[in-house]
A and B are shown apart, each in its own frame.
Chain A
Amino acid sequence: MSEYKDITVESEGNGGKVVFAEDVVATIATLAAAEVDGVYGMSGTAFEGLGEKLGKKNYTKGIKVEVGQVECAVDMNIIVRYGFKIQDVCRAVQEAVKNAIETMTGLKVVQVNIAVTSIAFAKEVPAEPPKPENRVK
Protein backbone atom coordinates (compact mmCIF):
# COMPACT_ATOMS: atom_id res chain seq x y z
CA MET A 1 0.00 0.00 0.00
CA SER A 2 1.55 3.33 -1.03
CA GLU A 3 2.28 5.90 1.63
CA TYR A 4 -0.26 8.70 1.55
CA LYS A 5 0.89 12.31 1.79
CA ASP A 6 -0.73 15.69 2.09
CA ILE A 7 -1.89 17.25 -1.14
CA THR A 8 -1.27 20.93 -1.58
CA VAL A 9 -3.19 22.84 -4.21
CA GLU A 10 -2.19 26.38 -4.94
CA SER A 11 -5.35 28.40 -5.38
CA GLU A 12 -5.18 31.19 -7.86
CA GLY A 13 -6.20 34.73 -7.00
CA ASN A 14 -6.79 34.29 -3.30
CA GLY A 15 -3.10 34.13 -2.33
CA GLY A 16 -3.57 31.02 -0.25
CA LYS A 17 -3.30 27.30 -0.57
CA VAL A 18 -5.51 24.35 0.15
CA VAL A 19 -4.04 21.32 1.85
CA PHE A 20 -5.85 18.01 1.82
CA ALA A 21 -5.41 15.61 4.71
CA GLU A 22 -4.04 12.14 4.14
CA ASP A 23 -6.30 9.47 2.74
CA VAL A 24 -8.83 12.01 1.56
CA VAL A 25 -8.51 11.02 -2.09
CA ALA A 26 -8.79 7.36 -1.14
CA THR A 27 -11.90 8.02 0.91
CA ILE A 28 -13.54 10.01 -1.88
CA ALA A 29 -12.83 7.21 -4.33
CA THR A 30 -14.18 4.58 -1.95
CA LEU A 31 -17.43 6.45 -1.33
CA ALA A 32 -17.88 7.14 -5.06
CA ALA A 33 -17.38 3.48 -5.91
CA ALA A 34 -19.77 2.33 -3.20
CA GLU A 35 -22.60 4.27 -4.84
CA VAL A 36 -22.25 2.44 -8.14
CA ASP A 37 -24.92 -0.17 -8.73
CA GLY A 38 -23.37 -3.62 -8.73
CA VAL A 39 -20.52 -2.89 -6.34
CA TYR A 40 -20.75 -4.96 -3.17
CA GLY A 41 -17.74 -3.41 -1.48
CA MET A 42 -14.00 -3.00 -1.45
CA SER A 43 -11.65 -5.91 -1.08
CA GLY A 44 -8.72 -5.43 1.27
CA THR A 45 -6.05 -7.49 2.97
CA ALA A 46 -6.58 -9.52 6.14
CA PHE A 47 -4.93 -6.84 8.21
CA GLU A 48 -7.16 -4.12 6.82
CA GLY A 49 -10.22 -6.18 7.60
CA LEU A 50 -9.09 -6.73 11.18
CA GLY A 51 -9.92 -3.18 12.16
CA GLU A 52 -13.40 -3.47 10.67
CA LYS A 53 -14.06 -6.54 12.77
CA LEU A 54 -13.26 -4.46 15.80
CA GLY A 55 -15.92 -1.95 14.74
CA LYS A 56 -13.81 0.70 13.04
CA LYS A 57 -14.89 1.60 9.50
CA ASN A 58 -11.96 1.69 7.09
CA TYR A 59 -12.61 3.86 4.02
CA THR A 60 -9.18 3.21 2.53
CA LYS A 61 -9.41 -0.58 2.42
CA GLY A 62 -8.45 -2.09 -0.91
CA ILE A 63 -7.40 1.14 -2.53
CA LYS A 64 -4.06 2.64 -3.51
CA VAL A 65 -3.67 6.23 -4.55
CA GLU A 66 -0.68 7.83 -6.25
CA VAL A 67 -0.84 11.58 -6.03
CA GLY A 68 1.20 14.26 -7.77
CA GLN A 69 0.88 18.02 -7.80
CA VAL A 70 -1.89 18.15 -10.40
CA GLU A 71 -2.65 14.55 -11.27
CA CYS A 72 -3.47 11.32 -9.49
CA ALA A 73 -3.94 7.63 -10.26
CA VAL A 74 -6.12 5.19 -8.37
CA ASP A 75 -5.91 1.40 -8.05
CA MET A 76 -8.94 -0.32 -6.53
CA ASN A 77 -9.86 -3.86 -5.55
CA ILE A 78 -13.62 -4.33 -5.59
CA ILE A 79 -16.20 -7.05 -5.06
CA VAL A 80 -18.99 -7.19 -7.64
CA ARG A 81 -22.50 -8.49 -6.99
CA TYR A 82 -23.53 -11.61 -8.88
CA GLY A 83 -25.77 -10.89 -11.84
CA PHE A 84 -24.10 -7.67 -12.96
CA LYS A 85 -21.85 -7.39 -15.98
CA ILE A 86 -18.37 -6.88 -14.60
CA GLN A 87 -17.12 -4.67 -17.40
CA ASP A 88 -20.15 -2.37 -17.16
CA VAL A 89 -19.71 -2.07 -13.40
CA CYS A 90 -16.00 -1.37 -13.77
CA ARG A 91 -16.59 1.36 -16.34
CA ALA A 92 -19.20 2.94 -14.11
CA VAL A 93 -16.81 2.86 -11.16
CA GLN A 94 -14.05 4.44 -13.22
CA GLU A 95 -16.32 7.29 -14.30
CA ALA A 96 -17.74 7.81 -10.82
CA VAL A 97 -14.33 7.86 -9.15
CA LYS A 98 -12.88 10.16 -11.80
CA ASN A 99 -15.76 12.64 -11.54
CA ALA A 100 -15.76 12.61 -7.74
CA ILE A 101 -12.04 13.20 -7.32
CA GLU A 102 -11.82 15.86 -10.02
CA THR A 103 -14.85 17.69 -8.67
CA MET A 104 -13.89 17.61 -5.02
CA THR A 105 -10.13 18.05 -5.19
CA GLY A 106 -9.42 19.63 -8.56
CA LEU A 107 -6.84 16.97 -9.33
CA LYS A 108 -6.84 15.44 -12.76
CA VAL A 109 -7.37 11.67 -12.65
CA VAL A 110 -5.15 10.05 -15.25
CA GLN A 111 -5.83 6.42 -14.41
CA VAL A 112 -8.38 4.38 -12.50
CA ASN A 113 -7.44 0.70 -12.45
CA ILE A 114 -10.04 -1.74 -11.18
CA ALA A 115 -9.37 -5.30 -10.09
CA VAL A 116 -12.37 -7.51 -9.40
CA THR A 117 -11.18 -9.91 -6.72
CA SER A 118 -14.41 -11.62 -5.78
CA ILE A 119 -18.08 -12.02 -6.60
CA ALA A 120 -20.75 -11.65 -3.94
CA PHE A 121 -23.77 -13.87 -4.11
CA ALA A 122 -27.01 -12.77 -2.52
CA LYS A 123 -27.77 -14.76 0.60
CA GLU A 124 -30.98 -16.68 0.25
CA VAL A 125 -33.47 -15.61 2.86
CA PRO A 126 -35.78 -18.51 3.75
CA ALA A 127 -39.36 -17.71 2.96
CA GLU A 128 -41.59 -17.25 5.94
CA PRO A 129 -44.06 -20.05 6.41
CA PRO A 130 -47.62 -19.01 5.57
CA LYS A 131 -49.59 -17.98 8.61
CA PRO A 132 -52.41 -20.38 9.37
CA GLU A 133 -55.80 -18.92 8.78
CA ASN A 134 -58.13 -18.62 11.73
CA ARG A 135 -60.82 -21.22 11.58
CA VAL A 136 -63.21 -19.28 13.73
CA LYS A 137 -64.13 -15.64 13.83
Chain B
Amino acid sequence: MKRVVRILTGLLAVLAIALVVCVFLALIGWPVSQERLTELLSAARRMPNVLLTVSAALLLAAIGVFTLYALYAERFSKQTAAIIEHNAMGETSVSFSALAELANGVAKSRPDVKDCKTSVSSTGDRVRISVRVVTAPTVSLLELTYALQNAISARVLEVCGTPIGSVDVRVDQTDAEQKHARVN
Protein backbone atom coordinates (compact mmCIF):
# COMPACT_ATOMS: atom_id res chain seq x y z
CA MET B 1 0.00 0.00 0.00
CA LYS B 2 1.33 3.47 -0.78
CA ARG B 3 2.72 5.46 2.09
CA VAL B 4 0.38 8.42 1.50
CA VAL B 5 -2.70 6.19 1.62
CA ARG B 6 -1.44 4.55 4.81
CA ILE B 7 -0.86 7.91 6.47
CA LEU B 8 -4.26 9.28 5.45
CA THR B 9 -6.03 6.14 6.61
CA GLY B 10 -4.16 6.26 9.89
CA LEU B 11 -5.09 9.91 10.43
CA LEU B 12 -8.71 9.11 9.68
CA ALA B 13 -8.65 6.33 12.25
CA VAL B 14 -7.09 8.62 14.87
CA LEU B 15 -9.72 11.30 14.15
CA ALA B 16 -12.48 8.73 14.54
CA ILE B 17 -11.11 7.62 17.91
CA ALA B 18 -10.68 11.25 19.03
CA LEU B 19 -14.27 12.03 18.03
CA VAL B 20 -15.56 9.12 20.08
CA VAL B 21 -13.51 10.21 23.09
CA CYS B 22 -14.91 13.75 22.84
CA VAL B 23 -18.47 12.49 22.57
CA PHE B 24 -17.93 10.24 25.56
CA LEU B 25 -16.46 13.05 27.63
CA ALA B 26 -19.37 15.29 26.69
CA LEU B 27 -21.88 12.60 27.69
CA ILE B 28 -20.34 12.21 31.13
CA GLY B 29 -20.34 15.98 31.58
CA TRP B 30 -16.61 16.67 31.39
CA PRO B 31 -16.04 20.35 30.49
CA VAL B 32 -13.89 19.65 27.43
CA SER B 33 -15.30 22.67 25.69
CA GLN B 34 -18.31 24.84 26.22
CA GLU B 35 -20.49 25.70 23.33
CA ARG B 36 -19.79 23.29 20.52
CA LEU B 37 -19.80 20.07 22.54
CA THR B 38 -22.89 21.24 24.42
CA GLU B 39 -24.64 21.62 21.09
CA LEU B 40 -23.54 18.12 20.08
CA LEU B 41 -24.72 16.73 23.40
CA SER B 42 -28.10 18.39 23.04
CA ALA B 43 -28.43 17.09 19.51
CA ALA B 44 -27.54 13.57 20.62
CA ARG B 45 -30.05 13.65 23.46
CA ARG B 46 -32.78 14.80 21.10
CA MET B 47 -32.33 11.62 19.08
CA PRO B 48 -35.03 9.06 19.75
CA ASN B 49 -32.50 6.44 20.81
CA VAL B 50 -29.41 7.59 22.68
CA LEU B 51 -28.26 4.01 22.93
CA LEU B 52 -28.07 3.81 19.16
CA THR B 53 -25.81 6.87 19.12
CA VAL B 54 -23.50 5.39 21.72
CA SER B 55 -23.38 2.06 19.87
CA ALA B 56 -22.52 3.76 16.61
CA ALA B 57 -19.77 5.71 18.35
CA LEU B 58 -18.30 2.55 19.86
CA LEU B 59 -18.43 0.80 16.48
CA LEU B 60 -16.64 3.71 14.90
CA ALA B 61 -13.96 3.56 17.59
CA ALA B 62 -13.55 -0.17 17.08
CA ILE B 63 -13.12 0.31 13.33
CA GLY B 64 -10.55 3.01 13.99
CA VAL B 65 -8.56 0.82 16.37
CA PHE B 66 -8.67 -2.11 13.97
CA THR B 67 -7.53 0.08 11.10
CA LEU B 68 -4.57 1.35 13.09
CA TYR B 69 -3.66 -2.18 14.11
CA ALA B 70 -3.92 -3.49 10.56
CA LEU B 71 -1.75 -0.69 9.23
CA TYR B 72 1.00 -0.50 11.79
CA ALA B 73 1.06 -3.69 13.87
CA GLU B 74 3.64 -5.26 11.62
CA ARG B 75 6.22 -2.63 12.55
CA PHE B 76 5.93 -3.34 16.23
CA SER B 77 5.71 -7.10 16.07
CA LYS B 78 8.52 -9.05 17.60
CA GLN B 79 10.73 -11.44 15.74
CA THR B 80 8.56 -14.37 14.82
CA ALA B 81 10.97 -16.66 12.96
CA ALA B 82 11.78 -19.90 14.72
CA ILE B 83 14.02 -21.47 12.09
CA ILE B 84 16.21 -19.39 9.83
CA GLU B 85 18.39 -20.75 7.04
CA HIS B 86 20.71 -18.80 4.79
CA ASN B 87 21.58 -19.84 1.27
CA ALA B 88 23.11 -18.31 -1.84
CA MET B 89 19.87 -16.68 -2.93
CA GLY B 90 18.83 -15.23 0.39
CA GLU B 91 17.19 -16.27 3.62
CA THR B 92 14.35 -18.67 4.34
CA SER B 93 12.58 -18.74 7.68
CA VAL B 94 9.76 -20.61 9.36
CA SER B 95 7.61 -18.69 11.80
CA PHE B 96 6.58 -19.81 15.26
CA SER B 97 2.97 -19.96 14.16
CA ALA B 98 3.78 -22.24 11.22
CA LEU B 99 5.68 -24.62 13.51
CA ALA B 100 2.80 -24.59 15.98
CA GLU B 101 0.33 -25.41 13.22
CA LEU B 102 2.54 -28.25 12.02
CA ALA B 103 2.82 -29.78 15.50
CA ASN B 104 -0.91 -29.27 16.03
CA GLY B 105 -1.67 -31.13 12.83
CA VAL B 106 0.53 -34.05 13.86
CA ALA B 107 -1.13 -34.28 17.27
CA LYS B 108 -4.68 -34.00 15.92
CA SER B 109 -4.04 -36.73 13.36
CA ARG B 110 -3.90 -39.27 16.19
CA PRO B 111 -7.31 -40.85 16.89
CA ASP B 112 -6.75 -40.88 20.66
CA VAL B 113 -6.29 -37.10 20.80
CA LYS B 114 -9.60 -35.26 21.14
CA ASP B 115 -8.25 -31.72 21.19
CA CYS B 116 -4.91 -30.00 21.45
CA LYS B 117 -3.25 -26.62 21.70
CA THR B 118 0.31 -25.97 20.65
CA SER B 119 2.75 -23.18 21.40
CA VAL B 120 6.30 -22.67 20.24
CA SER B 121 9.08 -20.77 21.95
CA SER B 122 12.83 -20.49 21.61
CA THR B 123 15.66 -20.08 24.06
CA GLY B 124 18.78 -19.14 22.19
CA ASP B 125 18.98 -21.42 19.19
CA ARG B 126 16.86 -24.18 20.69
CA VAL B 127 13.23 -24.38 19.73
CA ARG B 128 10.75 -25.79 22.23
CA ILE B 129 7.29 -27.01 21.32
CA SER B 130 4.66 -27.27 24.05
CA VAL B 131 1.62 -29.38 23.35
CA ARG B 132 -1.42 -29.60 25.55
CA VAL B 133 -3.74 -32.46 24.59
CA VAL B 134 -7.13 -33.65 25.74
CA THR B 135 -7.76 -37.36 25.58
CA ALA B 136 -10.14 -39.96 26.88
CA PRO B 137 -9.47 -41.48 30.33
CA THR B 138 -8.94 -44.95 28.86
CA VAL B 139 -5.87 -43.96 26.84
CA SER B 140 -2.43 -44.98 28.03
CA LEU B 141 -0.76 -41.69 28.85
CA LEU B 142 2.75 -43.12 28.75
CA GLU B 143 2.33 -44.43 25.24
CA LEU B 144 0.55 -41.29 24.06
CA THR B 145 3.15 -38.82 25.28
CA TYR B 146 6.05 -40.91 23.98
CA ALA B 147 4.37 -41.31 20.61
CA LEU B 148 3.53 -37.60 20.38
CA GLN B 149 7.05 -36.48 21.19
CA ASN B 150 8.56 -38.82 18.61
CA ALA B 151 5.97 -38.01 15.95
CA ILE B 152 6.26 -34.24 16.31
CA SER B 153 10.06 -34.27 16.43
CA ALA B 154 10.31 -36.53 13.39
CA ARG B 155 7.75 -34.56 11.42
CA VAL B 156 9.37 -31.20 12.10
CA LEU B 157 12.79 -32.61 11.18
CA GLU B 158 11.38 -34.04 7.97
CA VAL B 159 9.49 -30.92 6.92
CA CYS B 160 11.80 -28.18 8.16
CA GLY B 161 15.14 -29.97 8.07
CA THR B 162 16.00 -28.75 11.57
CA PRO B 163 15.86 -30.76 14.82
CA ILE B 164 13.73 -29.47 17.66
CA GLY B 165 15.21 -28.80 21.09
CA SER B 166 12.38 -30.36 23.06
CA VAL B 167 8.74 -31.33 22.85
CA ASP B 168 6.80 -30.87 26.10
CA VAL B 169 3.50 -32.67 26.33
CA ARG B 170 0.84 -31.98 28.90
CA VAL B 171 -2.17 -34.26 28.98
CA ASP B 172 -5.58 -33.19 30.26
CA GLN B 173 -7.88 -36.15 30.45
CA THR B 174 -11.60 -35.75 30.13
CA ASP B 175 -14.38 -37.77 31.58
CA ALA B 176 -16.75 -36.92 28.77
CA GLU B 177 -17.34 -40.58 28.05
CA GLN B 178 -18.64 -41.11 31.59
CA LYS B 179 -22.31 -40.64 30.90
CA HIS B 180 -23.84 -42.15 34.03
CA ALA B 181 -23.70 -40.48 37.42
CA ARG B 182 -21.86 -42.45 40.06
CA VAL B 183 -24.06 -41.41 42.91
CA ASN B 184 -27.78 -40.86 43.35
User: Of residues 75 to 118 in A, which have CB atoms within 8 Å of B's CB atoms?
Assistant: 80, 82, 84-87, 90-91, 94-95, 98, 109, 111-118
- Give the interface size class of chain A: 20 to 34
In this complex, the member of A1, A50, A117 whose beta carbon has the largest number of chain B beta carbons within 10 angstroms is A117
Knowing A3-B2, A45-B70 touch, does A118 contact B101 (C-beta < 8 A)?
yes
State whether A111 touches B105 (Cβ < 8 A).
Answer: no
Who on chain B is nearest to A118 by CB? B98
**Does any Cβ of A come within 8 Å of B92's Cβ?**
yes
State whether B105 touches A121 (Cβ < 8 A).
Answer: yes
Knowing A46-B70, A91-B87, A119-B101 touch, does A113 contact B159 (C-beta < 8 A)?
no
Q: Give which listed residue, B66, B69, B90, B161, contacts A94 with CB less than 8 A.
A: B90
Residues on the B chain within 8 Å of A87, using CB: 85, 92, 160-161
In this complex, the member of A85, A116, A121 whose beta carbon has the largest number of chain B beta carbons within 10 angstroms is A116
State whether B94 touches A86 (Cβ < 8 A).
Answer: yes
**Does any Cβ of B come within 8 Å of A48's Cβ?**
yes
Residues on the B chain within 8 Å of A98, using CB: 89
Residues on the B chain within 8 Å of A4, using CB: 2
- Please measure, in the bound complex, the distance between the C-alpha atom of A94 and the C-alpha atom of B1, giving whole angstroms: 24
State whether B97 touches A111 (Cβ < 8 A).
Answer: no
Contacts from A to B (Cβ < 8 Å) = 1, 3-4, 45-48, 50, 73, 80, 82, 84-87, 90-91, 94-95, 98, 109, 111-119, 121
Contacts from B to A (Cβ < 8 Å) = 1-3, 66-67, 69-71, 73-74, 80-81, 85, 87, 89-95, 97-98, 101-102, 105, 158-161
How distant is A105 from chain B, measured CB to nearest CB, in Å? Answer: 17
State whether A119 touches B102 (Cβ < 8 A).
Answer: yes
Q: Give which listed residue, B1, B66, B89, B159, contacts A111 with CB less than 8 A.
A: B89
Residues on the A chain within 8 Å of B93, using CB: 113-116
State whether B95 touches A118 (Cβ < 8 A).
Answer: yes
